[in-house]
A and B are shown apart, each in its own frame.
Chain A
Amino acid sequence: MPINILVVDDSAVMRSMIKKTIHRSNVDVGDIYEASNGQEGLDILDQNWLDLLFIDVNMPIMDGMEMLDIIRNTPDTRDLPVLIVSTESNKQRIEWINEHNAGFVHKPFTPEKLREKILSVLGVLD
């Protein structure tokens, strides 16, 4: 079944690259929505059925960490699969992401790596 995805990143270039790589990853994709900050992302999440979120860390207005916090503290979205996308990969950040039950995608990434991460966070792979 095709999955609906939301890509939240303040860089239009990065959103475009993530979308392009998702399409190349051979995952069955339905609609891909875009938002340029966490607040915009929450608004889209409120109005659409989504199966997976890609969230950047550093964004204006509302960053990815705050957005993920809100998602995990909202009953309707607390179990929603989330992948945090970042170039920063220090231990503390990854621990925080794990504690919030999200996956982590380190930039740069290949379609193969993205596929593996998507399937893993969707629970298709262990």
Chain B
Amino acid sequence: METELTNKTQSPSAGYQDQIQEIAYNIFELTCYMFPMEEWELEDAGELERPDGNVRSIVRFDGAAEGAMVISPSEDLLEALAANMLGVEEANDEEKEGALCEIANIICGNTVPLFAHDEQICYIRPPRIAAQGEDTDELFKGMTREDVEVLLDEGIAEISIYYNAEDL
């Protein structure tokens, strides 16, 4: 499947992006029954509602690798996430944020081993919702950043992972 990847920092470890994307697609599929867009759907992807950054979840990790993951969903994806994960038709804001934090936690937990030596202990800290306008680039200044975009049948998510390249 072709999806557009962005790499704003041009890190030397751009290969991570494919792995992060694969992990994220797998988790959305298993956890929320959401699937990657088909190739024919990608032609119209530019017209889809994009994440506006209003609701973002941040998950920090430390131990053998240090950094954080930030996930920002489009509004339609956020609604679908909560509906699928909780089995409700119309989730309230608290439920939407809870669902986003949980999916962030799962994606982060499965991604972090990429940034740590195998079998070393990494600790995933509790996910939280970012404050409005919170500047994560400033928060994780000095870290390398990988950005991927996940295009799903229910909406779009942008995922950024900040990590210390010297941990690798």
**Are B87 and A88 closer than 8 Å at their CB atoms?**
no
Knowing A58-B126, A88-B109, A108-B30, say if A11 contacts B119 (CB, 8 Å): no
Q: Which residues of chain B are near A13, meaning CB under 8 Å?
A: 82, 85-86, 95, 98-99, 101-102
Question: Which listed residue (A16, A87, A91, A92) contacts B106, Cβ 8 A?
Answer: A87
Query: In the bound complex, what is the Cα–Cα distance between A88 and B110 (angstroms)?
Result: 7
Per the 8 Å Cβ criterion, residues 50-92 of B in contact with A are 82, 85-87
* Count of chain B residues with a beta carbon within 8 Å of a chain A beta carbon: 26
* A108 and B121 contacting across the interface, CB-CB below 8 Å: no
Where chain B touches its partner, the secondary structure class is helix
- Answer yes or no: B6 CB below 8 A from chain A CBs: no
Say whether B86 contacts A88, CB under 8 Å. Answer: no
The A-B contact count (CB < 8 A) is 60
**Is residue A110 contacting chain B, with contact meaning CB distance below 8 A?**
yes
* In the complex, A49 has a CB within 8 A of chain B: no
- Residues in A with CB closer than 8 Å to B106 are 87, 107-108
**Considering the complex of A and B, which 4 residue pairs feature the smallest CB-CB distances, nearest first?**
A87-B109, A108-B30, A91-B119, A13-B98
User: Taking beta carbons and an 8 Å cutoff, which residues of B are in contact with A?
Assistant: 26-27, 30-31, 82, 85-87, 95, 98-99, 101-102, 105-106, 108-110, 113, 119-124, 126
